[in-house]
Structure 1
Amino acid sequence: MRRVHGLATYGRSIAAGSSTSLATVAAAMPNLLVRSAMLSTTSSGSGPQFLSRRMADYFGLSGTSVAAGVVGTMFFSVAASSVAQEVHAKELPKFSPKDVVLYQYEACPFCNKVKAFLDYYSIPYKVVEVNPMSKKEIKWSEYKKVPILTIDGEQMVDSSEIITDLFKRTHPEGTCADAEEEAKWRKWVDGHLVHVLSPNIYRNASEALESFDYITSHGNFSFTERLVAKYAGATAMYFVSKKLKKKYNITDERASLYEAAETWVDALKGRDYLGGSRPNLADLAVFGVLRPIRYLKSGKDMVEHTRIGEWYTRMEGAVGEPMRINA
């Protein structure tokens, strides 16, 4: 059984009465950013501007502005259900590569989509955590974003393209029974679902700090980078989430999340999965981006106030234990 590694306890401590406020965090930012400027100098920049660019990259954005596209970020792995559930609907791999390596940020939603596919199809993979400041782990690649997946030395990029390519390798006989429906909902995940997540994850100070505590604990950060990223990042993302609300015409964060969850359940039309008796690529995509928030406050609220919980539990069992192996 996978565990949330302290997130529930941390969330409860925040809800119980954390004295941390946005004003307090904002007041601490100058000193934090000064430290960042001292430690983050590279050939491509330094200080707060450099940190902002690297944060934007870490969050899976294009360009150098954090506000340009923080959509659907800060995700992480969460608990699975029983072994008995895991066996049900589990598919065995149709090909056996010798060496699969995922270059990732632990919290990246697009990286988590790829991991959901690899886990479901029981494809063992190694993980290389990329330092979002230096990106030294992917200096060898001309592609400077994550995820990057290598299969026996062959580089693959872009989460949706990676998954499509992997599906062809695991299913040489052809596509799924309803490829059009599957494609529609995969696009919905990237074009809509991820957009409602950031305003929910960073809805207030405590929820923003809850998210960044996990990110900085599991990412490839130095002590000082962790401190800067946690407090400066949580503060920045709180305000960015407000801009995203306006950009995507979101008036009520939770209502938009609940509506998206209900839209997905309606799409199932009474089926266990969109794919019928087994998950298809759309099921795995939705699960992949929701899995990281499941045990945050936003994810708990979503399950409590919508019908998505039963499907999510089935997906936990179907996807099963992570196939990640030590590098």
Structure 2
Amino acid sequence: MSTLRIATRQLVSRSLVFRAGVRTYTTVPPKARQSSTAKLALIGTGVGAVGGSCYTFYSNWLDKNAHKEHEKYAPTIVKDFPKDVQITKRYVNPKDNSNLDIVLFQFQTCPFCCKVRAYLDSVGISYSVVEVDAVLRQDIRWSKYKKVPMVLVRQKENENEGFIQLTDSSTIISVLASYMHNRKQNLVELANFYPNISFFDDDGTKKHDIMNKYFLMYQDQAPKNMTKEDQELERKWRNWADHHLVHLISPNCYRTYGESVETFNWFSDAGEWHIYFPKWERDLMVYAGAVAMWGISKLLIKKHKLTEDVRGHIYNALDSWTDELKKKKTTFLGGKQPNLADISVFGILNSMEGCQAFKDCLENTNIGEWFFAMKTLTTNNRGELIREKIVNHQS
């Protein structure tokens, strides 16, 4: 079994140095001035060291585990489905033999949520959807984890064990894909191969990530038609989708205020907000969201070291993807059928399909043929949409 090594860095303690400036109108001999300056420097350094130590002690007192790294957390088990959470729709596939009960908490047009749906649809798994209000987020108040996508999943024959709470789109896909490869596995035991681990980045900031999220747990039963090189290529492009392509979506969709409003209006239509949210809440989500994301997109340009030509960046990214497809000389990166890299790239691009940015991508790159082949496949395999409002979860 392959395992992913997550690079971690040791936190380097830094003392805070406070410098004090002294203004005087008394004539002081040069040697005396040097002596005074040296004393002030020593005092400042001492005060800084003490202050830094006190601050570190205070921070660690507030968070008893702030200094720890390599902490591992197993996936959370939710015994009962959360009360007052409203399931808004289901996709039911009569050919689904996964024996899984899946509830997806999502924003309809979130790139990572689109990735998870693209996987579920492409393999024909039935699932329920909770459409979370992007502003108030009432339907995830019960959870310590406050982001989407999030999935509650259980094996129907083991429903007394409760739901496994899976987070992070790539982890969700890897766990479910591993299970679908060998359905004799216990889902809880399988999910434990993907623990959340703590580490410190280069700046000494404590962060968390999920181990093995780009690896499938084949248990020494890897697909015969998939070589080791194929698996490595799949992981490479899944990683690329998460750490490069996705960062180009917001700067392009919210490039101007007008495009930002247009994008959120499309979000409203695609997410059927008029069905699930009152008008005041919908308007708040559209206009407050448009203003916020317009501003945030400018910060993201700086954060990801992009130039103002954000269209050029996404065109180059899509050219890289289609160039890889040309090397394979197949419809999909996975061959005749898409692999998880195809699904990841498609899901992310699908999140911007109704935006002007995507229309420009179709006109200026060769992404269209592959994209619409993926769309046809996922649409044909998707279960039947059942629109209903269910107050309490039912199996």
Tell me the TM-score normalised to structure 1 length. 0.67
Shift of 1:170: 1.1
Residues 308/185 of structure 1: CA separation in 2 closer, same or farther (3 Å cut): same
Structure 2 residues not aligned, in runs of 5+: 1-94, 155-162, 183-220, 391-395
Q: Which has the higher contact order (CA 8 A, sep 6+)?
A: 1
Is residue 258 from structure 1 mapped to residue 315 from structure 2 by the alignment?
Answer: yes
Counterpart in the other structure of 2:39: none
Q: Equivalents in 1 of 2:181, 2:175: separation in Å?
A: 10
Q: Equivalents in 2 of 1:210, 1:134: separation in Å?
A: 22
Instruction: String of CA shifts for 1:144-199, please: whole Å, max 9, x gaps.
Output: 22112122333222111100001101112435431111001000001000111111
Q: Equivalents in 2 of 1:309, 1:142: separation in Å?
A: 40
Shift of 1:205: 2.4
Shift of 1:286: 0.3
Counterpart in the other structure of 1:128: 130
User: Where does 1:242-253 land on structure 2 (aligned, <5 Å)?
Assistant: 242-251=298-307, 252-253=309-310
Q: Which has the higher strand share?
A: 2
Consecutive aligned runs of 4 or more in structure 1 exceeding 6 Å deviation = none
From the CA coordinates, give the structure whose radius of gyration is larger.
Answer: 2
> Per the alignment, in what secondary structure is the counterpart of residue 126 of structure 1?
strand
Counterpart in the other structure of 2:181: 171
| Alignment partner of 1:267 out of 324, 328, 343 | 324
Is residue 232 from structure 1 mapped to residue 288 from structure 2 by the alignment?
Answer: yes
Q: Is the 8 A contact 2:306 2:313 kept in 1?
A: yes
User: Where does 1:23-42 land on structure 2 (aligned, <5 Å)?
Assistant: none
> What one-letter code is carried by the residue in structure 1 that aligns with 2:117?
K
Counterpart in the other structure of 2:259: 207
Counterpart in the other structure of 1:79: none
Counterpart in the other structure of 2:70: none
Structure 1 residues not aligned, in runs of 5+: 1-91
Counterpart in the other structure of 1:113: 115
Counterpart in the other structure of 2:340: 281
> What one-letter code is carried by the residue in structure 2 that aligns with 1:174?
A
Shift of 1:231: 2.1
User: Where does 1:117-156 land on structure 2 (aligned, <5 Å)?
Assistant: 117-152=119-154, 153-156=163-166
> Per the alignment, in what secondary structure is the counterpart of residue 301 of structure 1?
helix
Q: Equivalents in 1 of 2:137, 2:292: separation in Å?
A: 22
Q: Is the 8 A contact 2:263 2:354 kept in 1?
A: no
Q: How many residues align?
A: 235
Counterpart in the other structure of 1:197: 249
Shift of 1:139: 3.2
**Identical counterparts, % of pairs:** 43
Tell me the TM-score normalised to structure 2 length. 0.56
Residues 140/245 of structure 1: CA separation in 2 closer, same or farther (3 Å cut): closer
Q: Is the 8 A contact 1:102 1:126 kept in 2?
A: yes
Q: Is the 8 A contact 1:96 1:123 kept in 2?
A: no
Q: Equivalents in 2 of 1:212, 1:114: separation in Å?
A: 21
Residues 267/236 of structure 1: CA separation in 2 closer, same or farther (3 Å cut): same
